[in-house]
Structure 1
Amino acid sequence: MRAPLTLAVSAALVAGTALGLAPAAHAAPPAATDAANSVRFVDIAGDGGTVLKANVVTPAGAGAGTGARYPVIVLPTSWAMPQIEYLVQAKKLADSGYVVVSYNSRGFWQSGGEIETAGPKDVADASKVIDWALANTPADPAKVGMAGVSYGAGISLLAAAHDKRIKAVAALSGWADLIESIYSGRTQHLQAAALLGGAGYLTGRPGPELKAILGDFLSSNLAKEGEMIAWGEKRSPAAYLDRINANGAAIMLGNAWGDTIFPPNQYASFYEKLQGPKRLEFRPGDHATAEATGLFGLPNDTWTSAHRWFDHHLKGVDNGIDREQPVQLKSRSTGGYEGYPDWKSVGANERKIALGGSQRIWANIDSGANGGVVLLSNLLDQLIKAPPVASIPLLPRSFAGVWQSERYDTPQRVRGTAKLHTTVTSTKESGTLVAYLYDVGPLGLGKLVSNAPYTFHGKTPGTPFPVDLELFSTAYDVPAGHRLALVVDTVDPLYIEHNPTGAQLTFSSPAADPSYLSVPLRAE
């Protein structure tokens, strides 16, 4: 068993540094004023009277006896972040005529209570903060919005399902399906869960339920799998889709292609099922890195879109956002945006790579192909286009299955979700495999395009069974003269593997059910 706590502590410190988390944030922020707007630090009574530390930013001249009402935006903080997280964005919003209330989610920093992980108390807290804003600020009850990054995004979506007053949401780097986020392919996302758990212990007070769930998750206590899934579903906005649609809030979703905590697939699936006004934006990066610069006041496309979204849906500004293609993607390979009418149009073309023959590999050995390091690897891809790499010719075939396409004469613009279909025979009843898609240059060096894990249990040894696996969605341009390669092995530091000692996996392609990799391509 690996050492998840050590990893969690280290990763939490890296994450905190990347997003501007300072140890001094334990101290109460001083009161401040600005020439254009005012900032107040207040205590708000959340669900059950739990004290939530908050700050309120109001437009210049608000509350001066004018009787004017302003649209209000509520911002729950991200996991492990202090209440000053959104202060820069809050002041920008106040400058343009919004009342903004940002609060520290319960269980973190100086807010009371214990960490509920977007449970019912967190959802009730959001409504209590709206109540407070309407009673104590010049907020317009008909123009209520919510937004947040990561944890704040999840809480905002859940609140939109339970509070009809919420008219618009900007959910950035969040989740719609918690199970598909950190337990996709029924495989524990080790580094993601350990990062969240470690950061929670460092900056907050995990409740007994979270402690139990995290312990069972990281220790692979499969006897409690049903409880863990039920716990995650209760905290998944996708489980309340009917309520969200009935309430009709305008929903904007933004995420990064390489988000190692909340991969983009689950957001795209959720987006397609939304029935009200909606927008989906994907950009290069890892968890919350697409929004990070905006928290410091630097130019940021994600926050610009969020402001435009609120301006249109809360203030009625005719800024054209409703006439744009609602799905906006930025490729990892180019600098421009691409617009699509819906998610299914993203990968309208499909190229199948046949996975012929039969390959057998030994489990429990890392072949050298892997998905990188949580937060770091995809941040490097975002900043300098340097994703994880592997030398495809040098991968040991005893531990990795490898299939390659022909060399392409023209660029292949991969857009959307690649899908693997194959037949597996295991010598043991359980096991884990990880699939990787690489862009392979003339010298055999492969750049990671996407990956995804898959775990099985209860299979009859020696009996073939089909495997269907969706790789994490992406947008990547394969240059002319390159080829695509599918690599499958059984160990990746990002995930917990379930391979018994001595296990072997055989990948075959029966004539009646051929194996293939379906690659979605942009329609030119």
Structure 2
Amino acid sequence: MSRRRSTLLVHLLSAVTVTALATTVLAGPAEAAPAAAPLAAPATASLAAPATVRAGAPVATTGFRFVDVPGAGVTLKANVIAPAAAGRYPAVILPSSWGLNDLEYLAQAKALAGRGYVVVSYTPRGWWASGGEIDTAGPRDMADLSRVVDWTIAQTAADPARIGAAGISYGAGLSLLGSAFDRRIRAVAVMSGWTDLVHSLYGDSTRHRQSSGLLQLSADLLGNAGPELTERLGDFAAGRDLDEIVAWANVRSPATYLDAINANRPAVLIANAWNDSFFPPNQLVDFYARLTTPKRLELRPGDHAIAEFTGVLGLENDVWTGVYRWFDQHLAGIDTGIGGEPPVLVKPHNAAREGYADWSALTSATRRYGLGQIRRLDRTGLLGGEPQAGWSKSLPTDLDTTANGGQVLISNGIAAFTGRRPQIWLPTVDRGRAGVWASERPSTAQRIRGIPTLHLELGDTAARGTVMAYLYDLDALGNAQLITHAPVSWLGTEGGDRAVDVRLPATAYDLPAGHSLTLAVDTVDPLYYDENAPGGTVTVKGGSYLDVPLK
């Protein structure tokens, strides 16, 4: 990483969050590889009586200061801000996001300190001026996080019995993983984070092209990727040694350590977006269901790190307000009322927010829509009724259509602010390249809540292949707004007939009365790598159906 490029990016970050200092781009020391992070001993009693903290009652804070924190064989760049009065305070540790540094959270660090928290933000190893190579939330990162906890207790007014961790994206994953390896972490706020890195990179056996490409670009520009990450990303892009990549990703998945998290019992808040193109929400829903600690799940419109973005700028933000309340409840000892609220909060794409006792309560019925024969007149099949047999629709394997999942971060990110989902005009979808099925137009609104599932019967397929499925809200003028979408691939050794099932990402969407629920299936999407051989075909057959969860 060149000094000139690093300095330019520091100033770019300054324009968004804080006035960055040129010293944050100085090279860090060489790495000394430590062993995997040990499980820390339980926290002891506070060293002094906890300071009185009242939500909404600001306290005076110390000045913001940069510090060097000894990690596991490397030096980590960090900053600290804390209440000014003497006493012991709850503490929050904020690891920075992938590609950013410890200045990322300055606005929120000030806000938390003003509420009575010691706040330590740090840049994980391998990024910017922190030492070592990027470990991608591996054992070295876990050891580093425990060292940051050690330093925070020893060098600040932090109460060792009231330590929390939070972050966005990479910082979220580090925080949640850290709660499995260090039981001193008593509360966690996971914003746009992951629980299953295999699913994030390789969901439904389909490699995610654009999101992994951005991860690699960030590492090349802003960090010290090192040979391990470089090799893994290269293998991923080339589609080779995928078993090794899966094993590597499992080590970095909080779901792998769910038993340890449940045993340590941190209070876990998970906040994510319906259309997160890096970490789709199904993995979070599955993790949440198996989590036995105090827990809360919040899902909102948007893409990766979009819902919480205005909070990073220091503006009022619903996600960060929830984080304050979570930490006040579980670290500061203040009854904010959040513990008595429904623990599952969802904001549908086009309706008011809703609360539920658990995830399963979102869905009260499931409706099966059979895929019918394609009609000659409009080259569209009926979506509805029992699955029909005796028909087929062939799709070319290397020709795209206007049906797509949009651009990573952009399409659904804009939707979070405008309320308008990615949209196409359905007549532009080439019916020679895609299959399209549309339902009858209901007289009442259909409240879709949960995870739609698609079952496709495929005929005479190649041993390896991919199809893309898009679920749309179609109005009377042909405008189709994307509700949710997913790819699915198969990696067999023999061709022939097969069935594939795909869980589309969870969603909450009200299909208006008079609109048609519409399914489009093709074989190419720039968001993903596909497994199709050029010049081939994939044939969708009768017996296929879509199950839609309804409220």
Q: Distance in 1 between matches of 2:19 and 2:534?
A: 44
Q: Deviations over 1:428-447 (max 9, x none)?
A: 22111111000000012211
C-alpha contact (below 8 Å) 1:370/1:388 kept by paired residues: no
C-alpha contact (below 8 Å) 1:21/1:82 kept by paired residues: no
Query: Displacement of 1:197 after TM fit?
Result: 0.8
Give the corresponding residue for 1:138.
157
User: Structure 1 residues 19 and 255, CA, compared in 2 at 3 Å: closer, same or farther?
Assistant: farther
C-alpha contact (below 8 Å) 1:60/1:95 kept by paired residues: no
Decide which of 250, 258, 283 is 2:275's aligned counterpart.
258
TM-score, normalisation: structure 2: 0.86
Query: Displacement of 1:26 after TM fit?
Result: 5.0
Q: Deviations over 1:11-33 (max 9, x none)?
A: xx9xx77993799565339xxxx
Query: Displacement of 1:356 after TM fit?
Result: 2.8
Counterpart secondary structure, 1:369: coil
Aligned identity (percent) is 50
TM-score, normalisation: structure 1: 0.91
1:41 aligns with 2:66: yes
User: Structure 1 residues 26 and 340, CA, compared in 2 at 3 Å: closer, same or farther?
Assistant: farther
Give the corresponding residue for 1:89.
108
Query: Displacement of 1:518 after TM fit?
Result: 0.8
Counterpart secondary structure, 1:360: strand
Q: Deviations over 1:248-275 (max 9, x none)?
A: 0000000011111111111111111100
Give the corresponding residue for 2:16.
20
User: Structure 1 residues 128 and 19, CA, compared in 2 at 3 Å: closer, same or farther?
Assistant: farther
The letter for the 1-side match of 2:23 is A
Q: Distance in 1 between matches of 2:107 and 2:428?
A: 49
1:350 aligns with 2:362: no
Counterpart secondary structure, 2:82: strand
User: Structure 1 residues 449 and 19, CA, compared in 2 at 3 Å: closer, same or farther?
Assistant: farther
C-alpha contact (below 8 Å) 2:17/2:312 kept by paired residues: no
Q: Distance in 2 between matches of 1:37 and 1:351?
A: 57
1:517 aligns with 2:546: yes
1:331 aligns with 2:348: yes
Give the corresponding residue for 2:417.
383
1:267 aligns with 2:291: no
The letter for the 1-side match of 2:237 is L
Alignment of 1:188-337 (within 5 A): 188-221=207-240, 224-334=241-351, 336-337=352-353
Query: Displacement of 1:73 after TM fit?
Result: 0.7
Q: Distance in 1 between matches of 2:169 and 2:310?
A: 15
Decide which of 169, 176, 182 is 2:195's aligned counterpart.
176
Any gaps of 5 or more consecutive residues in structure 2? 26-58, 374-391
Alignment of 1:351-430 (within 5 A): 351-357=367-373, 358-430=392-464
1:126 aligns with 2:122: no
Counterpart secondary structure, 2:372: coil
Q: Deviations over 1:220-239 (max 9, x none)?
A: 12xx0110000010000000
Counterpart secondary structure, 1:114: coil
Decide which of 455, 480, 487 is 2:520's aligned counterpart.
487
Q: Distance in 1 between matches of 2:13 and 2:487?
A: 29
Q: Distance in 1 between matches of 2:467 and 2:429?
A: 16
Decide which of 50, 54, 58 is 2:78's aligned counterpart.
54
Runs of 4+ in 1 over 6 A off after TM superposition: 16-19
The letter for the 1-side match of 2:268 is I
The letter for the 2-side match of 1:144 is I
C-alpha contact (below 8 Å) 2:120/2:152 kept by paired residues: yes
Q: Deviations over 1:479-502 (max 9, x none)?
A: 110011111100001001111122
The letter for the 2-side match of 1:349 is A
Q: Deviations over 1:291-347 (max 9, x none)?
A: 11001110100000001000000111111100000000111113x310011111112
Q: Deviations over 1:23-65 (max 9, x none)?
A: 9565339xxxx964322210000012x0000001110224xxx
User: Structure 1 residues 17 and 487, CA, compared in 2 at 3 Å: closer, same or farther?
Assistant: farther
Q: Distance in 2 between matches of 1:17 and 1:505?
A: 46
Q: Distance in 1 between matches of 2:22 and 2:394?
A: 54
Q: Distance in 2 between matches of 1:22 and 1:323?
A: 36
Give the corresponding residue for 2:41.
none
User: Structure 1 residues 17 and 144, CA, compared in 2 at 3 Å: closer, same or farther?
Assistant: closer
Query: Displacement of 1:145 after TM fit?
Result: 0.5
C-alpha contact (below 8 Å) 2:83/2:113 kept by paired residues: yes
Query: Displacement of 1:205 after TM fit?
Result: 0.6
Higher mean displacement: 88-97 or 347-356:
347-356
Higher mean displacement: 299-308 or 343-352:
343-352
Q: Distance in 1 between matches of 2:15 and 2:469?
A: 30
Aligned residues: 492
Query: Displacement of 1:422 after TM fit?
Result: 1.7
Over aligned residues, Cα RMSD in angstroms?
2.0
Query: Displacement of 1:388 after TM fit?
Result: 2.1
1:503 aligns with 2:536: yes
Any gaps of 5 or more consecutive residues in structure 1? 1-8, 63-67
Q: Deviations over 1:410-455 (max 9, x none)?
A: 1112112110012112442211111100000001221100000111
Give the corresponding residue for 1:164.
183
C-alpha contact (below 8 Å) 2:17/2:107 kept by paired residues: no
Q: Distance in 2 between matches of 1:109 and 1:159?
A: 21
The letter for the 1-side match of 2:412 is N
Q: Distance in 1 between matches of 2:100 and 2:474?
A: 39
The letter for the 1-side match of 2:116 is G
